[in-house]
Structure 1
């Protein structure tokens, strides 16, 4: 079409619209623009007439934006005051440089430029079961599935009964056949177009009667009757009423498409496909696809759709093909909820405050997800009652403060200030302003706000006191003894309040830093006993988890804290289990402390409990730790059973991390060596290298009594690049002594004698390196003295080995 003719048609469509011209601006402002909006039967149009070039148009799913390079005086009042079915919500942005608008989500938007005019045409969103451009029946209603993965197709309510028009001769002589019922309106469109009978007015005597045009597929009698001008006087006798024929099958009336006789219906459709050509063949294939969809035969249906696509279908038929493919995907459960006409995983509620409740629901546990809806949620709160608005803002502020999100907390605090001064009378606003200043590292301002809030004897006043003490501790203005004194003085004043758990946690952390572990454990037990079974139990356990982490961290850094670890396990083992996470992190740390202190039985019991409660890779990791504890206790058989029990099925064990698999193999070999099964230990070590594997091989030979081989294995281990362990040096010397290699013993004493000083092997090399006196000669005093010194050294080694 010629561009001039297109422009004239476009301007003709806008002839019935309201012309909205922006008022003249100042001399430095851009030239005046003209904005026109109007509604057409199929679309709504926005036209911008501007002489300074085409604007940038951004099209979104539920709205769009028109932007210029400089500010434009938009006529907002006139735009918003003009009714439009599809274009609403006009607003300016970017200091007047852009205009934003809303339209129905999923609408089909077309943007084009002709000379100085920019046209934005917004058509209705695609509707399932209806071809674009077809009239929408008043009784149509489409129901979509609301559950993810549901295979629910549109259900079209039956049309309201309409008055039966006067039958014609063609209706009497040509009833609708089954083929026409299976092919609605000869194009398989979503809704059949019912041709209304034209109402002919009685013409004046001097004017000829216009000839009524009959539909093409009607038989010859219908054309003959329609071509004769009707008489001015009505007929004397009306013809006999004809029997009402069945209406065409609706596009997604699955029961009607399925039919009662499957073989006959399928044979009829196959015959139609074979007998038709071109567009009619595509319609027949679409009818076959609807039949297979109703019968839940996805493979046959997709084959029919592929055959239809290969025949160059028309635009309306391609739309039907896309809808049917979407329906088959919904039938299989493979439809994408974000791009499906039949499945919606998360239906958008009709309420305008959807974003408010989404943010409020996700805020306590998933702040990252709740944050995305925060700006629009704050905007929606304007229409809420003051009480409900205050509670929701408090919930959002609490979550933002816990997540340390200063930018979001700033928006919420500003909203609390501007909306009725929420929280200004109960200390809530001062508390959150102090938290905001704390996140900005403004300690003095935060303490000022906390002090103002603490003047009120309520929940936020008490919380402000706790935060003030913790902030002064962190800044160095208050030491641990001073914090303990302040917290103990306020402890009973807070008893029974919501802030008591936070106050107890702060007091326990101060006890831990001051080294008063018993008092910290008492506070931890109090949190579990008093609040573990209450409505605040989960929050108390979360608070106690931080205190438990601080206590165990202090015990890990403090030597000789095994008794404190044992006290924690015996007195508060159940509370530790309740407070711990799913991976058992704190219980595993406690078990390591117990094993380090020699309490292997308690450590093994604790790790057994954790292993039974975990699954997958975490269970395998706990099993390795438990096997290590059992091997240190000399229980090799139990270590083997634990390794087999926690390895999981064969596929999971094969797919494990290489380092985990290597560590499991080393532990199995060490367990076999501990049990005296040297050959099985060698089999477990096959293919493994490194000092740990070499040490296990040497230990297996030593336990089996293979002294020369053990001496050679330990000698190879001592000659490596890594620094030798005291046990390696001692076992090498013992293997050389048992093998009768005095030179190797003497060389080891000269080379590694100082390395054993201060260990439990101290004096062993000196005792083994004493040369025996020649046979047949009397003992000399030096020989006797050397033998006594060697015996004393061996006695010392024995005492050190027996010491706990």
Structure 2
């Protein structure tokens, strides 16, 4: 039985088909994190899955995807891991279901019985089983799934449980010599160091590197002819030899320009070298056993280069691909550490044989190569076999290929992609073929072709509701290919009315989606995209993602692009670029900048028309700006700004101007001039929305609040209902809140602030924040004695927005303002109209004081005293003193005023305005009643405050009395006039209202009702 450490070593290679995850590169040394850009230029499927943690890509038909979704077990349920060395193999089964498996022997087979009906993924295990295993298969009954492991003759096995897993140990006879395998798995040299025995290489090869013709030339001088495979995957260049060799890499290999990293691994008779080379073509040649590989620069000149032949093979009953490649060697199964998927690499002897154009099926793809073959993006059950010069790619149920007749091609025709079944991707765009026009003869040209298709469609429609739909769909395809999208929509809508059954046809739905999207009718396109006919179409997922980006639903777009990744490679270059650029923009908007950079690199690398590439580069510049590379972004903006098309040039000009301002290279006024010029040159799309937002930001930064609010508000109204307009509305609301809730408008004149508030009062938030804004603005108006306007603002709140305690509290403020404005009748109206029971004591006390003061101002002193009742608070005593003063009850007035002064004489410091007024009035009252004793007491206690008083002469006169010294009756009258209690009350009330405006209304959280929906302020 193997030890735990040995079991770990057997299963630790990330290149094995069922290997344990690791982050080491193929040298076994801990590698830096590999960017997902490594997948960019090879397959859009990998690109669109970047950032989602997906480590294996498999294109599948809708039926296969549905089967996987319903029956396949996840690794959390059944996780099969394989380890192997020269003397033993081991299969371990983990997971919530796998760990409960039982194992038995049955007639030369080891049977692992897994409870339940989940089917484990055995694609890697069956394709690359451990030594001693003849085959691996599955069978099911109603209660369990059984994994059948058939052993070779003479091979022993034992099984058990260890470390939370069920294991099957396979022991090879000691005398058995391992045969040469048809398949091999590249493992890490780190594994060799852990085991402690590093196998000796068959040969040591001194690799030579030289800079030639703008590229880097690598020479591999083997002593005997070997097979090789050379190809690029994204930013990686793979060079695989079918010989176990120790490569001596020169220090000059990593030049930092073309080649930034290099690492190799060897195992089972293979050596694989992986170079990190972000750019540059790859070519290969061979002479006298020496392989030459050039990265970048001019291609290696050689006449001995041939194309491998790819053909359909139906001889076994299941569709397969047969590749005729002279000198084909063996298959190396390699797991790419940059992407995480498994690929089959087939080497070949010289001369050079390459595959210039990628061949794609839903279950596997043949990548482009400079030498040999590589099969990638495989379903788990795909097998690759080599027999002589024929390489066969197949699967048990066959590959999804087109009809055999469609494989008949002229010998000199370059096959770009393998044909798909129409059912696999019903939403697939094929503009190039749909738009082709016949040449030569009387039926050449657009009009002839259009008339022909239109007549066929009319003849088909005349057959009634049960007629076929092929002719009408062909007419729609032709119209879409010619860019006549609205006409195509008309044809398809009429077809749907004439033949309702076609609404369930995926191809009909897919065509209508394309026509609507290219006509800009994104909302209408969603109706067809949401139909069940397109549920399992990966191509429809790409259209869903594209529509989501146009509508501003970026998170939804990311998920849709991920789901549709398997269909991206079959679209024409124009739409590959558009889809990838849209996906990159969605990643940028969701702040996934790393994924955005990887995806946009793929987008701009497609062979799309120049304008399409420019649009993608515009997104790329935004991503560079988001990543902090602003100088590079600015150069790209300046270059794109010279484009002859406004929809490309205008956003570039806008972003360049904005970036120049951010970098301090232009002033805000100059930037505004440029942006406002663009504002009236380009209207109606996302660029205008971004432009208005930018202008609003600059205005806010300058403190030009009215212009900022007007600009932001106009953009919000124009693009109302769009998700990408929500940030504009949020910015507008935030700016308004900042002005009237956070104090930014305090620098404006109160009248100017009031006008700004009235003009944009619809931005006032509902609830407590809106009410606080109004109270703060009313306080500012009150400070500059704009009392009527302040009272109107608060009265509107009372009438339309407040209830209960909050309403009664604000009514108190209105009453106070009306009293300050010498309007006691209006003060009483505000109080009496808002009477309610169960108010908090502080609110009731405040309202009682204000009512009594208003009644006092009206001369209804007896009623005022009834309202005050037993209240002995300071405010109540002040009102009683005022009433006694009005009634010329000097004894009572003097006594109350002196009592209000209390023991203030014991403390030093100047008197407040209220206390000074009380002191003067108390002295006047004692003098008027000739109470010399009280006047002397008052003078003894408070005489020291006369020098520091605001009106020292009045204090001296009041404390001296009318019968003392040179003071005459006129001086005494002047002193009495300066003791007006109203002025002191106004000053104190203003301070109280300012303090009150900074605190929440009592009961505001629970007393608001639907009345809060009213505007915050009345019309100006």
* Relative contact order higher in (CA < 8 Å, ≥ 6 apart): 2
Name whichever structure is richer in helix by fraction.
1
> By the TM > 0.5 criterion, same fold?
no
What interval of TM-score do these two structures reach, taking the shorter chain for normalisation?
A: 0.3 to 0.5
Give the alignment's TM-score, normalised by structure 1: 0.44
